Structure 1
Amino acid sequence: MQPDVVIIGSGMGGATLAAALAPSGRRILILERGERLRPSPRDRDAEAIFGTGYFRPDESWLDGQDRAFNPGNFYYVGGNSKFYGAALIRYRAEDFEARAHPGGSTPGWPLVYGDLEPDYQAAEEMYRVRGALGQDPTEPPHSGTYPHGPVPDEPEIVDLRARLQRVGLTPASLPLGVDLDTWRGAGDTTWDGYPDTCGGKMDAESCGLAQALAHPNVELRTGCRVTRLEAGAGGRITAVQYEADGKAETLRPRIVGLACGAVQSAALLLASADEARPTGLANRSDQVGRNFMNHNCSAVLALHPLRRNRAIYQKTLMVNDYYNGDGAGGLPLGNIQLLGKITGPILAANSKLPGWLAQAVAARSVDLYAMSEDLPNPDSRVTLKDGQIRLDWQRSNWEAHLQLVATLKAKLRAAGFPIVLSQPFDRRTPSHQCGTARMGADPATSVVDVFCRSHDHGNLFITDASVLPTSAAVNPALTIAALALRAGRHITETELAA
């Protein structure tokens, strides 16, 4: 019996779409190339996670100079959200508007914040977000409150919050999807970058997928790698081809949800080229794979040699004083938030410091994450070369990021941290990849409409970060979930109602 809906990928976009469609009663099949993460001794082993890359895929992509590198994406049930920092932040209302940045400008979205607000509220409830309204001056309007209060600051972070306030900043509680007691019950570490095998993080598997699979009409198949989509003469997707256990299989659903992630979704559409569509499916606009964005990010470590930081999880604050401007009437710089507590093994794995020095630094550091917007550029793109993914990321708006890091360093020194170090993240760190199947009102310049429906294929919906027209400067997970809920409602009303 053929499913009514096939969803490709079980990350934030795919799992949330499945949860939105599950009450329809239609037969829904989720195909996931990976398997479920199972508890193991390596779950809280910083050397295994950050040093040897135990959980990273055995996969090679090419960069813009055709040099091979190992990407930092993960292929498990729940996708990259199994390792995410659980920051579930709404895009600000200004992020949906066209606006200038130090490195260029953004085009704006084909919808406004108010169009998505009800879905943001629903996504926060689905992912049980913990937060507090009224602390952040950039917070957009909410139709409701956060489902739970914020994750509490540890004593060292209480002190940091006060220090930041004294130097004129406005720290706010970071909206988080985490059950602290459950997480720490499996080991006293941060959750940022660590795999969730205990259900302590509100990720795509523990929330969206669990809600979907509670319905008997929803099925998950793991170990299924989709290789090709087929489209008929009328434009609708007619077949989904995949491999499982060394065998080729074909499905013929009414609706296809594509949610493999910004790189893999684009790669699948390009690989599905046929005689009538030689540049790939959903690509009449020639925008599939283009406008790849990946946030400009740096780790910033603030130290006082005579003060130890005994925090375990740490990631509870953000600062948006420079989100909509540089503080002096200038252009936006970005978001600042805390990283999960960096330990000696993590620092040694990501720097040239010897182990003993990395341990001494990490014991005294408060660790922050500076994040600036990467702007859409059609020449920053995903292509295929002899079947291999080629990712030519052309970083933009870097001057804004340098200014954000410099401003943050100055504030931290004024707050009582005489030593402040920084290190940018490179292409091996998937800092919120997005943009390769951009949303827009014009089929000539975009891939999907405001409901994530392909302009070219009426039964194809893309519900991952591919569709984001801009990257904004905050973590995109909640926005992906909100867009998936919006798409699911539209599919139910227009495609599955009859």
Structure 2
Amino acid sequence: MTNHYDIIIIGTGAGGGTLAYKLAASGKKILILERGPFLPREKANWDTKTVFNSDRYHNSEVWYDKNGNELHPGMSYFVGGNTKVYGAALFRLREKDFEKFQHRDGISPEWALKYKDFEPYYVEAEKLYQVHGKSGEDSTEPFRSQEFPYPAVSHEPRIQEVSDILKGRGLHPYHTPVGIHLNEAQRYLSACIRCNTCDGFPCLVQAKSDAEVSAVRPAIAQDNVTLLTEAKVLKLHTSASGRAISSVEVEIRDPESGQAQIQRFSGDIVAIACGAINSSVLLLKSANDKHPNGLANSSDLVGRNFMKHVLGSIIGVSKKPNPTNFQKTLSINDFYWGEEGYEYPMGQIQTLGKVSKEALEGNPEAYAPLTPEQVASHSIDWWLTTEDLPDLNNRIRVDGDKIILDYTENNSESYDRLEKRWIDILKSIECGQEILPNCSYFVKGGKTYFTGKLPLDGVGHQVGTCRFGEEPKTSVLDLNCRTHDIDNLYVVDGSFFCSSGAVNPTLTIIANALRVGEHLSERMG
């Protein structure tokens, strides 16, 4: 195998996969390295117990919190990265998310680039990942130069009923922008079958707009692009001056024998896209004499400002059954920037993929006296997101082979207020409608809503560990996501975020990868 390439891309998720797609047509010689294999297409893709109660589709590695307790992050190491099991909700950040803004627990900082700089790439990203949506519904919607490329995914009757009631209460529910290969007008042509195993599941029919389907497969169809799977990058080596990456050290595992060999590759450009946590881990583990604190770390910011959102769920049970299959179609941003009497941002609310009795059976006592089947068949399920603020002390550290998430949650009050506010709204809806939980009990005095907060090992929204900016002392990357310290090294995943906003970060990661890909095309001629 040839060992030198024009560009080496490490990682195939939303950032790396999209970057490969953008550069594939350039004719440049591209090597893509992915530590995992292709995720197998099998009946178990749709099996709840396999997906949520085993490590078949998640890596079983162990990380640690700041107190030394074990974490089991369940990262998805396959071609396509974590997008293989994401919910495909693809939101744009709001314009004000790029500005300095006061939160309850601190400041969300200003970005050097603004929404207008990303808007053309959001357009391109929505087309590439087949985002379905409808403009004009969301009260916080940012400027759009073009309508969504695909029509909004329709609500099933129960969710449409809920949406209509919320509108009647003066709220502004809108259709969640979703990346799926759906043709509702001509169902016989639709790859997506609107099943109940989308959010958190691999897609057996490959109708989810994940990075493998949307970006990697089209890229590797080009003769100039090579993909190596089960190829874990161990270390980046620099030139004698320390100003360039001279080689990438890779452990390549044979899937049949399980044996591994170490090989080195070199590239004119090296782009890391391992996810905000693993990208910073790779930089820190690649320390050498010229970079004693880790590569590109003269600012001491690599791994710092780790953000993952404050996340949680509400399962609301009503007397009326909810037969919805594809439930992830409704969002509410009315409290994104706060509310009357509370001047701080609170966050976003959206419907979850429909919970099933199999998903609840692992903890049946939590729902007593209701059974998991009663809860699942009558619930409407909600997902809450509050902005996680950048904090220098929230950081990724390494100790030998140990990965440590040194993290303390912030903005908890704003999350708690959003949760209480939404439960109060659900309770206040007229009992006679029997739409949402208030006085429609299965059991007299029984509970009709159940809440849960995502623990530290829920890192699907990880961002911020190598923030970009104009000043080398206050950022790791320049505005093109090239490291200030090393001329041919880029980081192209969620690491570059200066703040997290309160919507899923994936579309912004995709848009930025397209933007950086445009820059690299110009740089490489």
Q: Is 1:167–1:411's contact at 8 Å kept on the other side of the alignment?
A: no
Q: Which moved more, 1:337-346 or 1:417-426?
A: 417-426
Cα 1:361–1:214 change in 2 (3 A) is same
Deviations 1:324-347 (A, max 9, x none): 222446111101111000111212
| 2:310 corresponds to | 296
Q: Is 2:367–2:375's contact at 8 Å kept on the other side of the alignment?
A: no
Match of 1:360 among 360, 366, 374: 374
Match of 1:37 among 36, 39, 47: 39
Q: Aligned letter for 1:316?
A: T
Match of 2:466 among 422, 437, 446: 437
| 1:148 corresponds to | 150
Summarize the alignment of residues 210-229 of structure 1 with structure 2, pairs less than 5 Å apart.
210-229=217-236
| 2:175 corresponds to | 173
| 2:206 corresponds to | 199
Between Structure 1 and Structure 2, whose CA radius of gyration is higher?
2
Moved beyond 6 Å, runs of 4+: none
Structure 2 residue 293 is matched with structure 1 residue 286: no
| 1:267 corresponds to | 281
SS at match of 1:422: strand
Q: Is 1:448–1:454's contact at 8 Å kept on the other side of the alignment?
A: yes
| 1:475 corresponds to | 504
Q: Aligned letter for 2:374?
A: A
Q: Aligned letter for 2:437?
A: F
| 1:346 corresponds to | 359
TM-score w.r.t. the length of structure 2 is 0.91
TM-score w.r.t. the length of structure 1 is 0.96
SS at match of 2:511: helix
SS at match of 1:253: strand
| 1:58 corresponds to | 60
SS at match of 2:374: helix
Deviations 1:6-29 (A, max 9, x none): 000000000111111112110011
Q: Which moved more, 1:162-171 or 1:251-260?
A: 162-171
Q: Aligned letter for 2:393?
A: D
Structure 2 residue 449 is matched with structure 1 residue 420: yes
Q: How many angstroms does 1:176 deviate by? A: 0.4
Q: How many angstroms does 1:67 deviate by? A: 1.2
Q: Is 1:167–1:414's contact at 8 Å kept on the other side of the alignment?
A: no
SS at match of 1:142: coil
Q: Is 1:292–1:433's contact at 8 Å kept on the other side of the alignment?
A: yes
SS at match of 1:24: coil
What is the distance in 2 between the residues matched to 1:319 and 1:458? 43
Q: Is 2:73–2:457's contact at 8 Å kept on the other side of the alignment?
A: yes
Q: How many angstroms does 1:351 deviate by? A: 6.7
Cα 1:352–1:380 change in 2 (3 A) is farther
What is the distance in 2 between the residues matched to 1:14 and 1:431? 16
Q: Is 1:190–1:314's contact at 8 Å kept on the other side of the alignment?
A: no
SS at match of 2:119: helix
Deviations 1:188-228 (A, max 9, x none): 32300001232110010010112322322111110000000
Q: How many angstroms does 1:86 deviate by? A: 0.2
Cα 1:351–1:275 change in 2 (3 A) is farther
Cα 1:12–1:263 change in 2 (3 A) is same
Q: How many angstroms does 1:109 deviate by? A: 0.8
Structure 2 residue 480 is matched with structure 1 residue 446: no
SS at match of 2:295: coil
Structure 2 residue 22 is matched with structure 1 residue 20: yes
What is the distance in 2 between the residues matched to 1:14 and 1:248? 22
Q: Is 2:242–2:291's contact at 8 Å kept on the other side of the alignment?
A: no
Q: Aligned letter for 1:212?
A: A
What is the distance in 1 between the residues matched to 2:142 and 2:490? 27
Q: Aligned letter for 1:162?
A: D
| 1:406 corresponds to | 420
Deviations 1:392-440 (A, max 9, x none): 1211111110011111111111234213321111123224011111111
What is the distance in 2 between the residues matched to 1:111 and 1:194? 34
What is the distance in 2 between the residues matched to 1:482 and 1:184? 24
Structure 2 residue 246 is matched with structure 1 residue 238: yes
| 1:67 corresponds to | 69
Q: Aligned letter for 1:206?
A: V
| 1:277 corresponds to | 291
- State the identity %: 39
Aligned residues: 494
Q: Is 1:291–1:435's contact at 8 Å kept on the other side of the alignment?
A: yes
Q: Is 1:174–1:318's contact at 8 Å kept on the other side of the alignment?
A: yes
Deviations 1:355-393 (A, max 9, x none): 971221111110000100000011111111122111112
| 2:400 corresponds to | 386
Cα 1:464–1:163 change in 2 (3 A) is same
What is the distance in 1 between the residues matched to 2:195 and 2:378? 18
What is the distance in 2 between the residues matched to 1:267 and 1:440? 20
| 2:119 corresponds to | 117
What is the distance in 2 between the residues matched to 1:448 and 1:299? 34
SS at match of 2:149: coil
Q: Aligned letter for 2:243?
A: G
Q: Which moved more, 1:22-31 or 1:159-168?
A: 159-168
| 1:163 corresponds to | 165
What is the distance in 2 between the residues matched to 1:336 and 1:183? 28
Q: Aligned letter for 1:342?
A: V
Q: Is 1:129–1:146's contact at 8 Å kept on the other side of the alignment?
A: yes
Summarize the alignment of residues 99-110 of structure 1 with structure 2, pairs less than 5 Å apart.
99-110=101-112
What is the distance in 2 between the residues matched to 1:351 and 1:438? 42
RMSD between aligned alpha carbons? 1.6
What is the distance in 1 between the residues matched to 2:236 and 2:121? 29
Q: How many angstroms does 1:59 deviate by? A: 0.5
Q: How many angstroms does 1:303 deviate by? A: 1.8
What is the distance in 2 between the residues matched to 1:470 and 1:336? 19
Deviations 1:55-74 (A, max 9, x none): 22120111110111211211
Q: Is 1:348–1:354's contact at 8 Å kept on the other side of the alignment?
A: no
